[in-house]
Amino acid sequence: MIETDILIIGAGPTGLFAVFEAGLLRMKCHLIDALPQPGGQCSELYPKKPIYDIPGSPEILAGDLTKNLLKQSEQFQPGFTLGERADTIEKLEDGSFIVRTNKGTEHKAKVIAIAGGLGSFEPRKPPLEGIEKYEDKGVNYFIKNPEIYRDKKVVIAGGGDSALDWSIYLTDIAKEVKLIHRRNEFRGALDSVEKLRELKNEGKIEIITPAEVDALHGAEKLEGITISSKGEEREIVTDHFIPLFGLSPKLGPIANWGLEIENNAIKVNTFDYQTNVPGIYAIGDVNTYPGKLKLILCGFHEATLMCQSAFQHINPGKRNVLKYTTVSGIDGFDGSRK
C-alpha cells in the first residue's frame, strides 16, 4: 500500500505543478497516470508544439514545459504510479481514501486531487470508409514528432487551434502543406488565421475551403485523397492526411465516483476547487465551473488554491502563513534551495 498526503490522479501539467505547491506546505504527493510518461496532453499530444501563453516563457515547447515542471517538483520527491489507471475509490472511516488502479496497486491518502484532464485520449475520426487501414500508414490523428513530415506532402483537415498551429509549424518542415476546412471561417485564434493568410500569400501553404475529404486511396499506405470543394471533386496526391478534429472527452471510471458531473467534467466550487465530496478536489481541464477556461495557466492557479485548502483539510486548525518562495517559504523546507 502506497501512503501519501495528497494523491494526484493525472500527471499532466496541473498535477505536476500541484506537487510543487503542496511541497511548499510540506505535504507529500504521489501521482497516478494511465500513460507511461508524465506530462499529460503536453507529452502525449503535442510535445514539439510551442506554447506561447505560459507566464514568463514567451515560447516553450510542450515537452520542455513538462521537463521543467518535473525539475521544479523533484525537490519534493513525489512518487509515481505510471501506466496504471485509477479505477475505484473508497472512503475510510477516518476520512482518508483508498484508490485502486486497474493493475491492483493500492494508494492511501488524506486528500485526493483529480487532475485527469480529458481522461483517456480518443481522437474524433472523420467518417471515411476504410480509414483504419491507413492509421499510422499516412493517417495520423496526433502529431507527436513533426520530423516524420520532413520533406513530405501533408494535408491537414480542421478549423480549430490545433489544425491552424500545426499547419503553420509544418510549413517550415514539410515539402508541401495543404489545409482543408469544411467552412470558410476558422475557429482558431485570430493571430493564427492572420499568419496563415500571410503564408498563403507567400505560397507556403494552400488553403482549401469550404472542402470535405470524401475518400482515401493507396495500396499498402496512403497515397492520395479525394476532396470535394464548391461542387467539384479533386484528387490530391499526399503522403500524410492529418485530421485534427479534436478529442472526444472520456472521463472513464472517475465518472462513477459519486462526484457531480456536468458535460463530462467534474463540478467544483471556485473557492478551493473541491468537489461535492469533502477531501476530493478536481483541478485543471477535468473540472468545470462558471467561466472555466481549459488552459495550463488556469490549472496552475487551481492547483495552488487547492493545496492551501488541502493543508487545512489535513491539518485542521493549523495556521498556514503564505510566504514567497524567494523570502523564506522554500529555504526553511529542507535546506536544498538555500
User: Is 158 a binder of ligand FAD (CB under 6 A)?
Assistant: no
Q: What's the chain's Rg over C-alpha atoms?
A: 23
Query: What contacts 36, CB < 8 A, 6 or more positions away?
Result: 82, 83
Q: Which one of 252, 289, 312, 331 is in contact with ligand FAD (CB under 6 A)?
A: 252
How far apart are the C-alpha atoms of 73 and 123, rounded to whole Å?
Answer: 30
Cα distance between residue 146 and residue 238, in whole Å: 16
Nearer to ligand FAD, 46 or 186 (CB): 46
Which residue blocks in 207-315 are alpha helix, DSSP H?
Answer: 296-314
C-alpha cell at 205: 501553404
Residue selected from 60, 275, 285, 300 as contacting ligand FAD according to rule CB under 6 A: 285
Q: Which of 117, 315, 183, 154 is nearest to 243 (CA)?
A: 154
Does residue 299 interact with ligand FAD by CB under 6 A? yes
Examine residue 284 and tell whether it contacts ligand FAD (CB under 6 A). yes
Is 139 a residue that touches ligand FAD (CB under 6 A)?
Answer: no
Q: Does residue 119 belong to the site contacting ligand FAD (CB under 6 A)?
A: yes
Residue appearing with cell numbers 499506405: 221
In this chain, which of 9, 27, 179, 196 binds ligand FAD, going by CB under 6 A? Answer: 9
Q: Pick from 25, 69, 86, 155: which binds ligand FAD (CB under 6 A)? A: 86
Of the candidates 5, 6, 12, 20, which one interacts with ligand FAD according to CB under 6 A? 12
326, 123, 169, 154: which is closest to 224 by C-alpha? 154
Tell me the backbone φ, ψ of residue 220, rounded to 5 degrees.
-85, -30
Q: Which residue is nearest to ligand FAD (CB)?
A: 117
- In the complex with ligand FAD, the residue whose CB is nearer, 116 or 243, is 116
Cell numbers linked to 303 = 492547483
Q: Rule CB under 6 A: is residue 249 a binding residue for ligand FAD? A: no
Q: Which residue has the cell 480518443?
A: 122
Binding residues for FAD: 14, 33, 41, 46, 86, 121, 285, 326
| Interacting residues toward ligand FAD by CB under 6 A | 9-15, 32-35, 40-42, 45-46, 49, 51, 53, 85-86, 115-119, 162, 252-254, 284-286, 294-297, 299
